[in-house]
Structure formats: structure tokens, C-alpha cells
Amino acid sequence: MARGIGRQVIVELGHFALVMALVAALIQTTIPLIGATRGEARWIAVSRPAALAQFAFVAASFLALIVAHVDSDFSVLNVVQNSHSAKPLIYRISGVWGNHEGSMILWLQILTLFGAGVALFGSQLRPAFQARVLAVMGALGVAFGLFILLTSNPFARVGEPPLDGLGLNPVLQDPGLAFHPPVLYTGYVGLAVSFAFAVAALMEGRVDAVWARWVRPWTLAAWIALTVGIAMGSWWAYYELGWGGWWAWDPVENASFVPWLVATALIHSVIVVERREALKTWTVLLAILAFSMSLLGTFLVRSGVLTSVHAFANDPARGVAILLILGIFIGGALALFAWRAPKLVQGGLFAMVSREGALIANNAILGACAAAVLLATLYPLIAQTLLGRTLSVGPQVFDFFFPPMIALALALLPIGVALPWKRGDFGAATQRLRYAAAAAIGIVVLTLAFVSANAWAVFFGLALAAWVAAGTITDWAVRTKLGTGSLKLTFARALGLPRATWGMVMAHLGVAIVTLGIVTDSTWKEEAALLFKPGQSIAALGYTLTLDKIEKNLPHENYTSTRATLRFVRDGRTVLVLHPERRFFPLQQTETTEAAITTTFFRDIYATLGEQRGEEWIVRVQWRPLVAFIWFGAMTMAFGGMLSLSDRRFRLGAPVRAKTRTAGAPAE
């Protein structure tokens, strides 16, 4: 009895805390903004405690929902629909955000976390400017707080609590899905800080190097989270869904990829503002668009207007509400941009052949890629709305236009890094990259000599990966004056490089690694769909495969499994044993496929167990060369971002210190 009363108190306190968070968000939005307009210091000072209070109230509410799930409180509708008493603890916790209502409160929690970060670490910002930034973030908190309370209340109760819940979607019962959404949401919502800085700058009519220095680390933090989140989602799809693919141009995959492309352009554009105080209006626009794409992704996932295995909801009312939020914030920010941007004072001039010019080209290509992916993703919706026709855009459409566009960006990347600021010499830059060009050509020649391929694009892709990697290493060698002194001196110079420089090197190497993984896996993967009787052996993929046995109805905590023992034999010796499974969840009457994968540096071997046909079983086996490079490269990119973020010159709240550049080395 006492436990039941305690549960009810926790749930009601969680609901009350959510209401109080909305009140704090209203205060955070209005009073500091009025104070900044009137120059009232006491009103401006309200922004920081209001932001911290909003974070604390949302945290209390989120914790109450977690407790309800962990405690299997089936008086809460959200727990009934997404949990079960037999579910493992980790999935009871991840079930909190494995649904629409819970994912939205997680969205709000991360938003308030970033707001609290600006409040705590933004003490060196001008008080009025900090108040405006926090007011914009408070307005977002108001919008999504109202959305949750009015359309997506996670604390809604049921009149007669059932004895047990319906359980979480079996596909989501995976450790990857326990961590993937929070990381991805951190990237999504982190771009709200860049958005708030852009809107606040437009309000004041002032964008300068100091502004860029503050926007850069927040954008970089969001970009890192987006990179890791997208990579985790890709890896989950690869090993969990049983089809062996790592990217399908799914609408929700695209909804995270488009903000990543725009955020990548924003990071490079902010550097120009910071170093040269140029591209101010374009950078502010990118900051608005990056978060706008995150909001649009939220709309696509939760409105049900596009079909996806990732989608959380199919509720037109919620879709209309999010569309209204989208219109208010994106429309309002763009209107403010149209009004105030022409008044921004522009910075120094530069030649088109320069580091600035290369970054403009980078921005243009990434922006075109983002626009093309977004248009292709939304085209079925546009066609249905305007033409009344039901159309679909398959992966082959994206594969047609995206690789050539991104290849151009990769081709220009080493050249841009080799050019100096303000004015450069294209000939000198290409001369410096002659060894990188030789490496790219050498890779193609070696590939032709030892491996057969059926398309010129393969060689071009491998050459691009080698070109980016060798160009990046060349830049590092120039900075450390490799070959002009002892290795000890070179090592000392390398240690003396700023962390941001090391971050750039690692991120660009990560791009090359991802490119190599994509090209090799897409070109030379092999697969075979085989029919086995237990005990039968079949030659495939250079092995003799033996299906030793099939074990049925193996008991687990909340499912039963059918497990195969698949033995790989080469030259009479067993080199590998895999155990692919099919799992049956009786509560949902759903069956899932659990792939068995073994990974080495050079390849993955991937096996899945299909359906039974009489006495035979379908077994699908794949050989995937260098496929792990895709995720290793993505993690390398993220690590590069972390190195840059740890640079003292860009650390939040740290003063900017001049650093003497090594003579002859290009500027960072």
C-alpha cells in the first residue's frame, strides 16, 4: 500500500516538475530579454538562475519517469505501452526514450542541459548578450514544454492499471539503441546553442571574432555528438536488422545526416569569421539553418508524414503542433535575418584563391549536398501534396547524385588546407601536394595490378581516399618541418602543435578512412544465400561451410531463440564458428534476426539465420572487406573534434592567447 502511494507521489511530482519547468522557461524567455532591451542589470541577471532552475525541474521530471519505468509502475500509460516486468533493467531504462513521449522529454532535458551550460560557462560573455542567448533557448523550452504537456504527456494515467505492460518493440531491445538516441539527440539539440547565438547576434546587430570564438566550441560539441550518433545508428542497423547494410537513405537517417552536413559547413565557416571576420551573414544563416534542419528532422520522425522503421509516432495532431513550432522559430529567425543581416559590418577582403575561398567552396558543396538530400527525402511528400500522386524515392536516386557531389568536396579538401589566408598561389599549393597526388595515382595502379573492378568510380573513390589522407599528412609534415632536422626535433614540433591542428588532422584522416571503407565494401563485398540441412557442408566464399546443428526454443529472460552453429573450414582446418540466431518475443508475437559477425582489421564475416523450409534452413553469409573502416573512420573524425574542443583557445570561458606560429608553417 505504502509503495503504491509512493509511486503515485513520484509520478505526480514528476508531472508537477514539468509544469514548473515551463514556468521557469517563461521567466527565462521574458524577463532577461526585456532587461537586455532596457539595460536593466537586475532583470538581465535573472537569465542564469532561470536557466539552471529549468534544467533542475526537467531533470526531476525525467528522473521520475525513469523511476516509473524501472519500478514497472503500470498506472502510467507510457509505462504500460513501452515496458514489461520481465524486461531486462537496461531496456526498462532505455524504454523511457524508446517512444514518442519519453523521447520528447529527453529532447527537452538535453536542451535545458545546454542552457545550463551557457549559464554556467558563459560568464565571459557580455551580460546582455548572454541574456538574449538564454532567452532564445528559454523560448524553445516554452514551445517544447507546452508541446509535451498538451499533446505528449508522459505522465498520463490509466484508470485501471493492468497487471503487466505491452513491452518495448523487440527491435529496440539492443544495447546500441540504449545509447544511440541520447547521443544523437545531444547533437540535434546542441545546434540550438548555435541558433540562439545567431538570433542574439542579429538582435544586437553585431557579429565578430569573439562571437565566432564562442559559437565554434558549441557547434563542435554538437557536431561530435551527431557524428557519433549517426555512426552508432549505422552500426546498429548493420548488426541488428539482419540485412547487412549500414546505410539505406531512410528518411530518418537523412533527417540526422542533413543537419550534420550543415553543421560541418558551419564549423568551417565560423573559422573564417574568427580568423578574418568575413562571411558573417553566411555564417549566421548557416547557424539558423543547422538547427532548422534538426527541428525539421523532429517533425519528420514524429508526424508520420514519411514512413521509416525509426519513426516514433503517426499522429497528425502532434505533427501539426511541431510544424507550428517549426514555423514560429525558423520563420521568425529567417525574418529577423532578412531584416538585420544587411546591417552587419563585413570583415576583411580576400582573393578567391585563398583559404577563405576554399572554405566558401566547401560550404557551397556541403550546402548543395544537404539541399539535394533534403529535397529527395521530401519529394514523396511534395508529390502527394501538390500532385496527389504516391511516389517513392529509392536509394539508387541518392546514390546517383550524392557521390559525385561529395567527391568534389574531397578533391578540394587538401588544396584548401594547403592555401594560406587572404591570398594564395594555386600553383604553389598543388606543387606542395605533388607527393599526395603521386600516392593517389599509386593506389590506383596497385589496385589495377592486384584486384579486378567493374567500374571506374571504384578507382576514383580509392584515389580520393588516398588523396585526402596523403594531403592531410603532407600538411602535418609541413607544419612540423619533417625532413629538415632530426626526428627528435620533428617530434618536439609535433607536440607543440595546437590541439585544434591535431584535431583537424585526425578529422580529415577520418574522412579518408570512411571513404576507403565505403568504396571497398560497396565494391568487393560477396554474399551467398544457402540452403542447409543440419550436418550438411557447402563450399562458398572460399570456405567449406558446415551447419553443425540447430538448437530450438532456447530460453532467455523475455524471449526464446533458435540458434545455429555454422562452422567455417579452410584447408581442412576450422578457422571460425558463428552462431546466428532468430529470436521470438512471445509478448509481441514478433520474431527478430540476430546476426553473428566476426571482425578483423581487413574484413567482416557476417551470417544470419533465415526461415526453415522443410528440413532445410536458409543461411545468408557475407564477406565484407574493410567495412569496419566506416565506423572506425567516423570515430576518428569525432576524436579529432574532441581534440579541437579541448584546445585551450577554444575552451569555454578560456581567454584567447596569441600563439607564435612556426616560421614557414601555414596558419591553422
* Confidence band, pLDDT 50/70/90 cuts, at residue 237: confident
Report how far residue 633's alpha carbon sits from residue 640's, in angstroms, rounded to the nearest whole number: 10
At 358, list the grid cell.
576554399
* Confidence band, pLDDT 50/70/90 cuts, at residue 347: low
- Return the pLDDT at 303: 60
At 335, list the grid cell.
525574418
55 or 542, greater pLDDT: 55
Report how far residue 345's alpha carbon sits from residue 281's, in angstroms, rounded to the nearest whole number: 9
Q: Which phi and psi (to 5°) does residue 115 adopt?
A: -60, -40
* 11: Cβ contacts below 8 Å, ≥ 6 apart: 64, 68, 73, 75, 76, 155, 157
Mean pLDDT taken over the chain:
86
- Return the pLDDT at 453: 60
- Return the pLDDT at 305: 59
Report how far residue 12's alpha carbon sits from residue 229's, in angstroms, rounded to the nearest whole number: 33
The answer to whether residue 387 scores a pLDDT higher than 60 is: yes
User: How confident is the model over 393-440, as pLDDT tens digits?
Assistant: 888 999 999 999 999 999 999 998 888 888 877 777 778 888 888 888
Report how far residue 441's alpha carbon sits from residue 460's, in angstroms, rounded to the nearest whole number: 10
Report how far residue 495's alpha carbon sits from residue 422's, in angstroms, rounded to the nearest whole number: 27
The answer to whether residue 339 scores a pLDDT higher than 80 is: yes
For 57-119, give the DSSP string: HHHHHHHHHHHHHHTT-TTBHHHHHH--TTS-HHHHHHTTTSSHHHHHHHHHHHHHHHHHHHH
pTM exceeds 0.85 = yes
The answer to whether residue 342 scores a pLDDT higher than 90 is: no
The answer to whether residue 327 scores a pLDDT higher than 60 is: yes
User: How confident is the model over 101-121, as pLDDT tens digits?
Assistant: 898 999 999 999 999 999 999
The answer to whether residue 455 scores a pLDDT higher than 70 is: no
For 337-402, give the DSSP string: HHHHGGGSPP-----SSSHHHHHHHHHHHHHHHHHHHHHHHHHHHHHHHHH-------HHHHHHHH
Report how far residue 415's alpha carbon sits from residue 417's, in angstroms, rounded to the nearest whole number: 5
Q: Once rounded to an integer, what is the mean pLDDT over residues 472-500?
A: 84
Structural domain boundaries in the chain? 1-168, 174-398, 433-524, 526-625
- In the chain, pLDDT over 90 holds for what percent of residues? 50
Q: Once rounded to an integer, what is the mean pLDDT over residues 501-515?
A: 95
* 204: Cβ contacts below 8 Å, ≥ 6 apart: 128, 129, 132
The answer to whether residue 657 scores a pLDDT higher than 60 is: no
Q: Calculate the alpha carbon distances from 166 to 11, 80, 92 in Å.
A: 20, 6, 12
User: How confident is the model over 572-602, as pLDDT tens digits?
Assistant: 899 999 999 999 888 778 888 889 999 988 8
Q: Once rounded to an integer, what is the mean pLDDT over residues 535-560?
A: 89
Question: 3-class secondary structure for 590-606?
Answer: EEEEECEEEECCCEEEE
- Return the pLDDT at 659: 42
- Return the pLDDT at 614: 86
Report how far residue 189's alpha carbon sits from residue 180's, in angstroms, rounded to the nearest whole number: 14
C-beta separation of 135 from 82 below 8 A: no
- Return the pLDDT at 122: 86
The answer to whether residue 663 scores a pLDDT higher than 50 is: no
- Return the pLDDT at 653: 43
Report how far residue 166's alpha carbon sits from residue 588's, in angstroms, rounded to the nearest whole number: 7
